[in-house]
């Protein structure tokens, strides 16, 4: 089955059909534009250096090196989001958090499998599997970027109505990372459900109202 490839700010991004993805999307303004732009420039600079230095290396070496760069910048973003003292924190409002959850679950078992998620005050983490054409009505191919666009568009419209506001609700880009094996899946799910604990919002993952894990994946808790 061909892989879906699209380009994000000149960087090729691979989204294989039927893949499992760790996705993070955040409220507009959760990371100020100047901070986000600085991270983007630093990330692209490191990727270009890797491209130059790994020309004669194996594909596995390149993938491992890029994985380390991705993780470095993802952890930087996570620390920033969890330490913010000013808003927006729209998902402290249960009505808005519920809209976000319903929008995420809308495509569950139709085009994606929602394995796990956590709604934080200013961002959402989720583990999603894009369904294969043989699992989808009409046999269509499911692209993660299209699904995320739909989820964010619907939730933005509904949340803006509740807030009586117009304009951007979500930051344009989402972070997504291909989960490559069972061990990585276990680590990712554990990270997600423990995020509110690490951020100091609760003492146990079970105490956080907006944590969810599909029963099929309880073994990874």
**High-pLDDT (> 90) share of the chain, %:** 57
Dist CA 75 CA 79 (whole Å): 6
Residue 21 in contact with residue 130, Cβ under 8 Å? Answer: yes
pTM of the prediction? 0.85
Torsion sign across C-alpha atoms 97, 103, 106, 109: negative
Indicate the average pLDDT of the chain.
Answer: 88
Residues 6+ apart with CB under 8 A from 150: 106, 107
pLDDT tens digits for range 28-46: 999 888 888 898 899 999 9
pLDDT of residue 15: 65
């Amino acid at each position: 089955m061909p892989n879906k490839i699209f380009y994000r700010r000149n960087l090729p991004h691979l989204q294989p059909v039927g893949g499992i993805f760790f996705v993070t999307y955040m409220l507009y303004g959760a990371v100020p534009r100047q901070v986000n732009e600085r991270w983007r420039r630093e990330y692209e600079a490191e990727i270009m250096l890797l491209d130059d230095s790994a020309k004669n290396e194996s594909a596995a070496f390149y993938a491992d090196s890029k994985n380390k760069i991705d993780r470095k910048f993802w952890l930087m973003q996570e620390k920033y989001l969890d330490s913010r003292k000013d808003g927006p924190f729209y998902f402290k409002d249960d009505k808005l958090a519920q809209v976000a959850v319903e929008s995420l679950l809308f495509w569950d078992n139709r085009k994606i499998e929602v394995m796990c998620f956590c709604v934080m005050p200013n961002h959402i983490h989720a583990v999603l599997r894009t369904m294969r054409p043989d699992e989808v009505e009409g046999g269509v191919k499911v692209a993660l970027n299209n699904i995320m666009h739909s989820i964010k568009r619907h939730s933005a419209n509904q949340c803006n109505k509740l807030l009586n506001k117009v304009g951007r609700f979500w930051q344009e880009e989402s972070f997504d990372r291909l989960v490559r094996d069972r061990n990585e899946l276990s680590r990712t799910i554990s990270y997600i459900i423990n995020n509110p604990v690490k951020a100091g919002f609760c003492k146990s993952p079970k105490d956080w109202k907006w944590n969810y894990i599909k029963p099929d994946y309880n073994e990874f808790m």
